């Protein structure tokens, strides 16, 4: 089996390294930075550069690029993909990608399935990728309506071989609704939280909670701007909700109201228990 990886950053590099470590697939990679491709070949993370000729024989192509770049790549190479090839993107939002790429695939003889590997770190680039990145992590597939179940079963098998622990299937709409809460909101809150002037003075009096809450404040502002705006309806809903909740805590303390504050804290603890 031949695998193509378009973009050898943190996620793409980890896909390539995982495939080389865990499978006997031929792995070809492309990156806009030629030095990264050469480094990946030198380190034997890929078997060679993903040229047009090699793209045409790939059974699976993973595209871990920003949403707009995914669509551009699929449009540009639609006539090159192998007949029956399965193209899986790895962007953090799905509607803006899938709506366009499903239509492109309908006009050519390949399959497009939205994808989202739920793994990563706050660091980027091929130098931070690793063959253990996806160990036991979930992967989400967002296929078109009524996609062939065999296509999804085979895609799941390939993905599991990369080290993922679970593959979930849902619509692009459901993915974007949930990801606004589980990922995007956390990034906004973390990014805003660390702007407090107290952050400069916190050394010597910060521990695990500070580290946990601020980890994802260290983000790629170019990528996350695109992701947030592509999913702004869902993210605005989550932001407005947490702002309203935070105001309740603030009001209880302003009013020296221990009973309300205690109830808010109890409700939050119980909500966490239900969620888990």
The dihedrals phi and psi of 124, each to the nearest 5 degrees, come to: -125, 175
Q: How far is CA 75 from CA 64, 66, 204, 233, in A?
A: 15, 14, 52, 26
- Give the chain's residues under pLDDT 70: none
Place of tokens 């770049």: 69
CATH for 175-275? Answer: 1.10.3660.10
- Domain positions in the chain are 2-170, 175-275
How, if at all, do strands 26-30 and 48-49 pair?
parallel
As beta bridge partners, residue 114 has 142
CA distances from 157 to 151, 164, 167 (A): 10, 10, 9
Fold for the domain defined by 2-170:
Rossmann fold (3.40.50)
pLDDT value, residue 268: 97
Q: What is the pLDDT of residue 6?
A: 98
pLDDT for 202 equals: 81
């Amino acid at each position: 089996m031949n695998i193509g990886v378009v973009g050898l950053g943190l996620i793409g590099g980890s896909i390539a390294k995982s495939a080389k470590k865990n499978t006997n697939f031929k792995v070809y990679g492309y990156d806009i930075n030629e030095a990264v491709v050469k480094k990946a070949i030198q380190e034997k993370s890929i078997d060679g550069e993903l040229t047009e000729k090699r793209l045409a024989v790939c059974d699976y192509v993973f595209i871990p690029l920003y949403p707009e770049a995914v669509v551009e790549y699929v449009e540009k190479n639609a006539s090159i993909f192998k007949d029956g090839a399965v193209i899986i993107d790895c962007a953090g939002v799905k509607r803006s990608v899938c709506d366009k790429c499903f239509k492109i695939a309908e006009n050519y003889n390949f399959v497009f399935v939205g994808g989202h590997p739920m793994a990563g770190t706050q660091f980027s680039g091929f130098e931070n990728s690793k063959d253990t990145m996806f160990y036991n992590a979930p992967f989400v597939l967002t296929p078109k309506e009524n996609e062939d179940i065999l296509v999804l079963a085979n895609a799941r098998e390939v993905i599991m071989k990369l080290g993922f622990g679970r593959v979930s299937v849902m619509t692009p709409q459901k993915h974007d609704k949930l990801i606004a809460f589980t990922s995007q909101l956390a990034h906004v809150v973390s990014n805003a939280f660390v702007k407090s002037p107290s952050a400069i003075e916190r050394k010597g009096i910060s521990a695990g909670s500070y580290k946990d809450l601020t980890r994802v404040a260290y983000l790629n502002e170019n990528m996350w701007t695109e992701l947030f705006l592509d999913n702004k309806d869902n993210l605005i809903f989550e932001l407005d909700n947490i702002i309203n909740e935070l105001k309740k805590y603030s009001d209880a303390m302003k009013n020296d109201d221990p009973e309300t504050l205690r109830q808010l804290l109890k409700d939050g603890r119980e909500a966490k228990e239900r969620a888990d």
